[in-house]
Chains A and B, each alone.
Chain A
């Protein structure tokens, strides 16, 4: 288990799932393309990553593809020197 992925997964569940939403979300669950996170609410995820890891993600890198799963987010964070 990766602490980083677990932290992101926990955030995603708390931030985006309603209390009665029993969908299973794992590291490779599509977030954007499944509709769990839309392009508008994706900004919250970006704010979380930037605040938590003290980084600034340029808009060019904050793409729906880069945010589409916890695994993809971990790959993105690696670019900023944040490793699992």
Chain B
């Protein structure tokens, strides 16, 4: 029974979240996902036209006419839903076709679709590892990996973010285990830096370990032909497990996959619980995603544009006197260090027609509050110029342009 006491208890918990500043509020978008969106925030306020600087729509394919047309065609030819998990009666020809195309695109041996990459990461470790094995993860991997590791029976360990000497120590420590799996993101979602995947693969080969890569923030645009971090680092074909999402650059709808060594993918088909007990990817999404893979396999135009825009944006923010996290990915965090400042800054940007979100502890470490900006191939130069102008104006308002980290913290606190 949902007694008054229980209700009060939940109300107190929610109230605590609000007073701690960690209560999340949805922004309602009343248009398709794109560089230009119509947003309502806070709920109940007037709809406002803003430039979206915080979507994972890296290639600008979320509302691409050819993807929409392919999704329409898939809806007509294959229906709306399958009302089944994959292995009973939920596998259509287009699911197999999409898996084959992802295998070719990622340069692996086989691929299995999941309802999301969260589900792929939630199921893969339990499916391929046992209690005699060990998982050694970078400390900044995505939350879905952390959850997936917790569901597995294998021993867990971690290494300092991108610290290869520390990873080597851990590999030495765990030589007594049956199998070792090094776990990393390709592009780290909060900082936008790339894994040192070439060095990780070398260590894996030296210490007889497998490599797991979550390339959700890289698939489609990192690497010369957009294959991902493994292409960028020159280790195509040497990653044992890749998980990625169709919910970001690859059309942005939903769905994810595990791609890699044939036997490991087959273990997922037999044992991964989110695959076995969750509905199949909707036909309309499979059809749209097939078109996405065809589009990005035929030309690198969109990822090349994204690369150029990212470079312009990074240089522009730096020249304006803002502090950004160094890197080369379209994830560009503007560092503000103070939680309240990050919220005030984001609100003022919104008033100027720029939509970006402030992140602070516990989403990022203490004294690391920031606004995470994400560049898209959907952004034209006029979008980026307007956004840069707004960042500069708000930076001026708070008097932080040209200041060092220590000076910003001295002014606003940690």
| A residues adjacent to B (C-beta < 8 A) | 15-16, 18, 34-35, 38, 40-41, 43-44, 47, 51
Contact = CB atoms under 8 A, between A and B. Distances in A.
Contacts of B362: 35
Nearest to B361: A35
B156 interface: yes
Interface residues of B, number: 13
Contacts of B139: 38, 40-41
B146 interface: yes
Contact of B155 (A18, A34, A47): A47
Given A40-B139, A43-B156, A47-B157, 12 more contacts: A18-B160, A34-B366, A35-B362, A35-B365, A38-B139, A40-B137, A40-B158, A43-B158, A44-B158, A47-B155, A47-B156, A51-B173
Nearest to A47: B157
Contacts of A35: 361-362, 365-366
B128 to A, nearest CB: 19
Interface of B: 137, 139, 146, 155-158, 160, 173, 361-362, 365-366
Contacts of A40: 137, 139, 146, 158
A38 B161 CA distance: 13
Contacts of A15: 160
A38 to B, nearest CB: 8
B157 A44 contact: yes
Contacts of B155: 47
B165 to A, nearest CB: 10
A29 to B, nearest CB: 14
15 contacts: A15-B160, A16-B160, A18-B160, A34-B366, A35-B362, A35-B365, A35-B366, A38-B139, A40-B137, A40-B146, A40-B158, A41-B158, A44-B157, A47-B155, A47-B156
A34 B362 CA distance: 11
A29 B267 CA distance: 44
Contacts of A51: 173
A38 B366 CA distance: 12
A52 B154 CA distance: 19
A47 B158 CA distance: 10
Contacts of A47: 155-157
Contacts of B361: 35
Contacts of A43: 156-158
A51 B139 CA distance: 20
Contacts of B158: 40-41, 43-44
Nearest to B139: A41
Contacts of B160: 15-16, 18
A12 to B, nearest CB: 13
B191 to A, nearest CB: 14
A38 B368 CA distance: 15
Nearest to B146: A40
B145 to A, nearest CB: 9
Nearest to B366: A35
A47 to B, nearest CB: 5
